A and B are shown apart, each in its own frame.
Chain A
């Protein structure tokens, strides 16, 4: 398929995933505030960090802005001056989709465009003001709907696999990033037994990744840092775990690469390394030594992967086959 279109496919799903994750993070954190166990700045700062927006936000609103939940929520939902807000992610997703409408299905377009139009309606703004939980809920639901529509209305061929690659790399990186936000809590928890405050935080992390119920189905052990980290990193049957997402990304790349292909060698190799890093990780030991380092490494590894995929598939230096290739011969 055309390289530029592959890039649009890849980013379309990344942006939808980002939009979904941000809405989910905001929703969970707002709920956490209701439990009233953490100071405001400790609740909202992590969101700015995960969005990569901490410096920009502080520059604009000062350090005290971080304690202003309303300000942070508006910034991460509506502000179009940076790329991490729900609004900006969705705009980028929709622009990618519009660019490759001939590639995606009509149903995908309709679902995504409806979400975009909905976000721009006055009633939606009112809903944000008065029924915030419902607003974020709606964004999440519509993202789920989009992915369902996607899965069931396109050919599961190359464009689909590039979308899958984008979605899963975004997911893997995001899960590692969210865990990393809590690396202090993880390290501390290994020293002392779980307290109520910690429990709220663990539950918040799980819920952010739609992992609350799955976690308890899978692990009947007590709620704790190590269990949560293991689950989100290594649980091979949970869609938002790093291990699961990386395995799916690997599958997608295998479908994209014909066997023995010289294109995509580095991407395949990097994915292999990432997968075994994650699966072979001794989470307990990492928590005792340097969990932050491990998580940072995973985040950076996914970023590098994205870079290499771009170099190998989207912006590769392409030259015409040498004269004498099959096509040239048949032309003669």
Chain B
């Protein structure tokens, strides 16, 4: 496949790339950057036309590992907000769990419909130089980026129709339907034809494109907090025909903002009384409230043990060795080896609050050291893993650039893994940072289907 793309004249490739970018811009597949100006300049997420290809066998392995991991994390969340066995049986220290900023005591005792809390998960995966998949990070609150997966695919199909015809690439188009189905079947009291809405912070949010995109693909309404209200512990939406009941809310707002009566009082994005309705079982919230405890970077090192504990299975996916600064001995080691480690702040995402030792200046290392000493609970450290690379267009030729992968797992009454996911690529030579806010781009991810022989069949 790559050879086919490689055989295109350079000029032709450049022309197709321009076409693709124009499509993104015209479709408004953009994110707003607020650091530049007050108004929020819209940018196109840089896109690389050379796909990331994953063989069917590799994918089978990865998918099984992801299913296992989500099952365990789901069980962990149910336990943390329920009986707390994993803590009383010393699988994970109570202070790690209850000290996490993602742990919300208000959620204790709440049993969500179907017992599902991790409706949508995005697990960040890297490959080590030997090609094994390792989990780098779990995202169990509001993992974003899936709209790019679907838009990237649409653009690829338009840009390379011929090449696509010959490839046996598994489709990703049904994501919206799968998610809508999963959420509908978890409506409170098994209601028929429930009203599912997506709750967005509004058009000024940098991910608004994705919220709006998902509303279209899921065929549901996009609402802001001010469109909703709670009365009699039920959630209602204000319509032109008066108040209408709401059954399921796919929230794309941080937990801290969803209900000013319970969490941040200054939140104007949320819905007063929402938590009460949730506690009464009158509304399904996706993802569950309080999921942040399970994707906390300080909990991450315990996940293999949690898999063994809850599922009585060996973990199928490896993960990166992690030092927890909250533990004095490990903290000492981290401080002594800052120059060779990657240090992360436990509750920051997006590549912020991070130290990449091997690339940092002496001053940066010293500054970070004193921040760790002041607040060890906030930091973890990992050896720098040599991310695997994928061929990437650099303007005049293809060259290796580092990539990661975020597959998406959707859970309703059953579980479904989107074949593929968001491949993010560090476009700058030598860079390890794949975040869009810091010079990263994305690629289409092709999971090959080996169950078909001919292209004609593959398309079915």
Contacts and interface: CB of A to CB of B under 8 A. Distances in A.
A138 interface: no
Contacts of B237: 2
B221 A102 contact: yes
Interface stretch (A211-219, A276-284, A291-299, A315-323): A315-323
A318 B238 CA distance: 6
A32 B189 CA distance: 69
Contact of A323 (B222, B227, B232, B236): B232
Interface in A246-261: 256, 258, 261
A6 B227 CA distance: 12
Nearest to A102: B215
Interface in A40-54: none
Contacts of A323: 232
B243 A102 contact: no
Interface string B206-247: 001000110110000111101101011010111111110100
Given A4-B226, A318-B229, A117 B238 contact: no
B27 A313 contact: no
B114 interface: no
Interface string B67-109: 0000000000000000000000000000000000000000000
A263 B242 contact: yes
Most buried by B among A98, A106, A258: A98
A285 interface: no
A319 B244 CA distance: 10
Contact of B227 (A4, A106, A320, A327): A4
Assign chain B's interface to a size class: 20 to 34
A114 interface: yes
Contacts of B221: 2, 5, 102
Contacts of A263: 240-242
A101 B237 CA distance: 19
A17 to B, nearest CB: 21
Given A2-B221, A109-B28, A256 B240 contact: yes
A99 B26 contact: no
Nearest to B222: A102
Contacts of A2: 221, 223, 227, 237-240
Given A2-B223, A98-B203, A258-B241, A110 B215 contact: no
B370 to A, nearest CB: 44
A1 interface: yes
B243 A4 contact: no
Given A2-B227, A4-B227, A101 B216 contact: yes
Contacts of B232: 320, 323
A95 B202 CA distance: 12
A5 B240 CA distance: 9
B80 to A, nearest CB: 30
Interface in A268-289: none
Interface in B273-312: none
A309 to B, nearest CB: 10
B25 A117 contact: yes
A59 interface: no
A158 B221 CA distance: 14
Contacts of A152: none
A3 interface: yes
Interface in A92-113: 95, 98-102, 106, 109-110, 113
Contacts of B25: 117
* Interface hub of A5, A100, A327 (most chain B Cβ within 10 A): A5
A319 B26 contact: no
Contact of B203 (A95, A313, A320): A95
A327 B242 contact: no
Contacts of B208: 98
A102 B226 contact: no
Contacts of A110: 26-27
Interface in A1-34: 1-6
Nearest to A158: B240
26 contacts: A2-B227, A2-B237, A3-B227, A3-B239, A4-B223, A4-B224, A4-B226, A4-B238, A6-B240, A98-B28, A98-B203, A98-B208, A101-B216, A102-B221, A109-B27, A109-B28, A113-B28, A117-B25, A256-B240, A258-B241, A263-B242, A319-B243, A320-B232, A321-B243, A323-B232, A331-B189
Ranked 9 nearest A-B pairs via Cβ: A320-B231, A102-B215, A101-B212, A99-B203, A318-B238, A102-B216, A3-B238, A318-B243, A102-B222
